[in-house]
Amino acid sequence: MNYLSISDWLALAFFFACWFGYGYFADRETENGRSLTHYIQAHRLQWMQRLLLRDNRITDSALVGNLINSVSFFATTSMYIIAGILALMGTSEQVMSFVAELPLSPGGISKAGWDIKLILMLVIFIYAYFKFTWSLRQFNLLSILIGCAPMPDQGSEHAAFAVKAATINTQAGEEFNRGVRAYYFGLAAVAWFVRPAVFMAAIALIVYVLYRRDFGSRTLAAMRGDLS
Protein backbone atom coordinates (compact mmCIF):
# COMPACT_ATOMS: atom_id res chain seq x y z
CA MET A 1 0.00 0.00 0.00
CA ASN A 2 1.41 3.38 -1.00
CA TYR A 3 1.29 5.79 1.92
CA LEU A 4 3.26 8.49 0.10
CA SER A 5 2.96 9.92 -3.40
CA ILE A 6 5.73 9.81 -5.97
CA SER A 7 6.40 13.50 -5.37
CA ASP A 8 6.75 12.76 -1.64
CA TRP A 9 9.33 10.05 -2.32
CA LEU A 10 11.24 12.35 -4.68
CA ALA A 11 11.21 15.11 -2.06
CA LEU A 12 12.47 12.67 0.59
CA ALA A 13 15.30 11.50 -1.69
CA PHE A 14 16.18 15.13 -2.41
CA PHE A 15 16.23 15.82 1.34
CA PHE A 16 18.74 13.08 2.17
CA ALA A 17 20.86 13.86 -0.90
CA CYS A 18 21.14 17.52 0.16
CA TRP A 19 21.66 16.81 3.86
CA PHE A 20 24.42 14.25 3.53
CA GLY A 21 25.72 15.68 0.26
CA TYR A 22 26.21 19.10 1.81
CA GLY A 23 27.89 17.53 4.83
CA TYR A 24 30.36 15.71 2.59
CA PHE A 25 30.98 18.86 0.55
CA ALA A 26 31.53 21.01 3.66
CA ASP A 27 33.98 18.49 5.17
CA ARG A 28 35.93 18.25 1.90
CA GLU A 29 36.14 22.02 1.54
CA THR A 30 37.30 22.31 5.14
CA GLU A 31 40.18 19.94 4.35
CA ASN A 32 40.96 22.10 1.30
CA GLY A 33 41.11 25.24 3.45
CA ARG A 34 38.12 27.06 1.95
CA SER A 35 35.51 27.04 4.72
CA LEU A 36 34.84 28.96 7.90
CA THR A 37 35.47 25.77 9.87
CA HIS A 38 39.01 25.53 8.48
CA TYR A 39 39.96 28.94 9.85
CA ILE A 40 38.38 28.17 13.21
CA GLN A 41 40.50 25.00 13.40
CA ALA A 42 43.66 27.06 12.96
CA HIS A 43 42.59 29.35 15.80
CA ARG A 44 41.88 26.37 18.05
CA LEU A 45 45.48 25.25 17.66
CA GLN A 46 46.68 28.78 18.34
CA TRP A 47 44.50 28.89 21.46
CA MET A 48 46.09 25.74 22.86
CA GLN A 49 49.57 27.07 22.07
CA ARG A 50 48.84 30.34 23.89
CA LEU A 51 47.32 28.47 26.83
CA LEU A 52 50.65 26.75 27.43
CA LEU A 53 52.35 30.12 27.89
CA ARG A 54 50.04 31.08 30.77
CA ASP A 55 50.47 30.00 34.40
CA ASN A 56 46.82 30.79 35.10
CA ARG A 57 44.35 28.85 32.95
CA ILE A 58 41.12 30.12 34.56
CA THR A 59 40.14 32.04 31.42
CA ASP A 60 40.64 28.94 29.27
CA SER A 61 38.57 26.82 31.64
CA ALA A 62 35.80 29.43 31.51
CA LEU A 63 35.86 29.38 27.70
CA VAL A 64 35.53 25.60 27.61
CA GLY A 65 32.71 25.86 30.16
CA ASN A 66 30.91 28.27 27.85
CA LEU A 67 31.26 25.79 24.97
CA ILE A 68 29.92 22.99 27.18
CA ASN A 69 26.92 25.09 28.18
CA SER A 70 26.09 25.84 24.55
CA VAL A 71 26.22 22.18 23.54
CA SER A 72 24.27 21.14 26.64
CA PHE A 73 21.49 23.55 25.69
CA PHE A 74 21.11 21.98 22.26
CA ALA A 75 21.31 18.42 23.64
CA THR A 76 18.57 19.18 26.17
CA THR A 77 16.45 20.92 23.55
CA SER A 78 16.79 17.88 21.29
CA MET A 79 15.34 15.68 24.04
CA TYR A 80 12.36 18.01 24.42
CA ILE A 81 11.76 17.98 20.66
CA ILE A 82 11.99 14.17 20.55
CA ALA A 83 9.48 13.93 23.39
CA GLY A 84 7.17 16.35 21.58
CA ILE A 85 7.30 14.35 18.35
CA LEU A 86 6.54 11.12 20.21
CA ALA A 87 3.56 12.84 21.82
CA LEU A 88 2.34 13.96 18.40
CA MET A 89 2.62 10.42 17.10
CA GLY A 90 0.25 9.33 19.83
CA THR A 91 -2.34 11.93 18.85
CA SER A 92 -1.93 11.91 15.06
CA GLU A 93 -5.63 11.83 14.22
CA GLN A 94 -6.47 14.86 16.39
CA VAL A 95 -3.54 16.85 15.04
CA MET A 96 -4.44 15.94 11.45
CA SER A 97 -7.98 17.18 12.00
CA PHE A 98 -6.63 20.49 13.28
CA VAL A 99 -4.07 20.89 10.48
CA ALA A 100 -6.73 20.11 7.84
CA GLU A 101 -8.42 23.41 8.68
CA LEU A 102 -5.28 25.51 8.23
CA PRO A 103 -4.38 27.41 5.01
CA LEU A 104 -2.16 25.43 2.60
CA SER A 105 -3.15 22.26 4.41
CA PRO A 106 -2.35 19.10 2.40
CA GLY A 107 -5.39 17.16 1.33
CA GLY A 108 -5.91 13.42 1.31
CA ILE A 109 -2.92 12.48 3.47
CA SER A 110 -3.30 9.16 5.31
CA LYS A 111 -2.44 8.61 8.97
CA ALA A 112 0.40 6.31 7.89
CA GLY A 113 1.77 9.04 5.59
CA TRP A 114 1.53 11.55 8.42
CA ASP A 115 3.38 9.19 10.77
CA ILE A 116 6.14 8.67 8.20
CA LYS A 117 6.72 12.42 8.15
CA LEU A 118 6.83 12.50 11.94
CA ILE A 119 9.30 9.61 11.90
CA LEU A 120 11.56 11.63 9.62
CA MET A 121 11.48 14.47 12.16
CA LEU A 122 12.20 11.98 14.92
CA VAL A 123 15.20 10.54 13.08
CA ILE A 124 16.63 14.01 12.44
CA PHE A 125 16.52 15.08 16.07
CA ILE A 126 17.73 11.73 17.42
CA TYR A 127 20.70 12.13 15.07
CA ALA A 128 21.22 15.66 16.37
CA TYR A 129 21.03 14.45 19.97
CA PHE A 130 23.77 11.87 19.41
CA LYS A 131 25.96 14.49 17.74
CA PHE A 132 25.50 16.98 20.57
CA THR A 133 26.14 14.44 23.32
CA TRP A 134 29.32 13.20 21.62
CA SER A 135 30.42 16.81 21.21
CA LEU A 136 29.66 17.41 24.88
CA ARG A 137 31.72 14.43 25.94
CA GLN A 138 34.69 15.61 23.89
CA PHE A 139 34.50 19.12 25.36
CA ASN A 140 34.55 17.50 28.80
CA LEU A 141 37.67 15.61 27.75
CA LEU A 142 39.16 18.92 26.65
CA SER A 143 38.52 20.39 30.10
CA ILE A 144 40.43 17.47 31.62
CA LEU A 145 43.31 18.03 29.22
CA ILE A 146 43.47 21.69 30.19
CA GLY A 147 43.57 20.65 33.83
CA CYS A 148 46.70 18.56 33.22
CA ALA A 149 48.33 20.87 30.66
CA PRO A 150 52.12 21.21 31.02
CA MET A 151 53.39 24.37 32.67
CA PRO A 152 55.20 27.12 30.70
CA ASP A 153 58.63 25.79 31.78
CA GLN A 154 57.90 22.30 30.41
CA GLY A 155 58.56 23.30 26.83
CA SER A 156 59.42 19.80 25.60
CA GLU A 157 55.79 18.72 26.11
CA HIS A 158 54.14 21.76 24.55
CA ALA A 159 54.01 20.83 20.88
CA ALA A 160 52.44 17.39 21.38
CA PHE A 161 49.94 18.70 23.92
CA ALA A 162 48.82 21.61 21.73
CA VAL A 163 48.12 19.31 18.78
CA LYS A 164 46.29 16.78 20.96
CA ALA A 165 44.11 19.37 22.71
CA ALA A 166 43.39 21.27 19.48
CA THR A 167 42.37 18.00 17.77
CA ILE A 168 39.89 17.15 20.54
CA ASN A 169 38.58 20.73 20.42
CA THR A 170 38.17 20.57 16.65
CA GLN A 171 36.42 17.19 16.69
CA ALA A 172 34.01 18.41 19.36
CA GLY A 173 33.31 21.53 17.32
CA GLU A 174 32.70 19.51 14.15
CA GLU A 175 30.20 17.24 15.91
CA PHE A 176 28.44 20.33 17.25
CA ASN A 177 28.28 21.75 13.71
CA ARG A 178 26.73 18.52 12.42
CA GLY A 179 24.12 18.67 15.15
CA VAL A 180 23.25 22.27 14.33
CA ARG A 181 23.09 21.40 10.62
CA ALA A 182 20.56 18.68 11.49
CA TYR A 183 18.44 21.37 13.16
CA TYR A 184 18.48 23.41 9.95
CA PHE A 185 17.32 20.43 7.92
CA GLY A 186 14.78 19.60 10.61
CA LEU A 187 13.22 23.00 10.01
CA ALA A 188 13.06 22.20 6.30
CA ALA A 189 11.35 18.89 7.10
CA VAL A 190 8.47 20.78 8.72
CA ALA A 191 7.57 22.03 5.24
CA TRP A 192 6.89 18.44 4.17
CA PHE A 193 3.64 18.62 6.12
CA VAL A 194 2.48 21.29 3.67
CA ARG A 195 3.44 20.07 0.18
CA PRO A 196 6.36 18.12 -1.34
CA ALA A 197 7.16 21.12 -3.54
CA VAL A 198 7.29 23.41 -0.51
CA PHE A 199 9.50 20.82 1.21
CA MET A 200 12.00 20.83 -1.66
CA ALA A 201 11.97 24.63 -1.80
CA ALA A 202 12.72 24.75 1.94
CA ILE A 203 15.60 22.27 1.49
CA ALA A 204 17.10 24.39 -1.29
CA LEU A 205 16.79 27.50 0.90
CA ILE A 206 18.50 25.77 3.82
CA VAL A 207 21.40 24.62 1.61
CA TYR A 208 21.78 28.18 0.30
CA VAL A 209 21.80 29.63 3.83
CA LEU A 210 24.36 27.08 5.03
CA TYR A 211 26.57 27.64 2.00
CA ARG A 212 26.47 31.42 2.42
CA ARG A 213 27.44 31.16 6.08
CA ASP A 214 30.20 28.60 5.57
CA PHE A 215 31.72 29.93 2.36
CA GLY A 216 30.48 33.45 1.61
CA SER A 217 29.88 35.28 4.87
CA ARG A 218 31.57 38.39 6.25
CA THR A 219 32.49 36.24 9.26
CA LEU A 220 34.62 34.05 6.97
CA ALA A 221 36.19 37.16 5.45
CA ALA A 222 37.00 38.44 8.94
CA MET A 223 38.60 35.12 9.91
CA ARG A 224 40.69 35.25 6.73
CA GLY A 225 41.62 38.84 7.54
CA ASP A 226 40.51 40.24 4.18
CA LEU A 227 37.59 42.48 5.15
CA SER A 228 37.57 45.67 3.08
Residue ranges of domains in the chain:
6-224
pLDDT of residue 1: 47
Name which of 172, 142, 138, 163 is nearest 57 in CA terms: 142
Q: For 93-111, how does the pLDDT look when each residue is reduced to its tens digit (9 = 90+)?
A: 666 665 555 555 555 566 7
Q: For 15-51, how does the pLDDT look when each residue is reduced to its tens digit (9 = 90+)?
A: 999 999 999 999 999 888 888 988 898 899 999 999 9
216's enclosing H/E stretch is: none
pLDDT of residue 97: 62
Q: Is the pTM of this model over 0.85?
A: yes
Overall average pLDDT of the 52-78 stretch: 93
Q: What does the longest C-alpha to C-alpha distance in the chain come to?
A: 72
Residue type, 116: I
Phi (first) and psi of residue 205, to 5 degrees: -65, -45
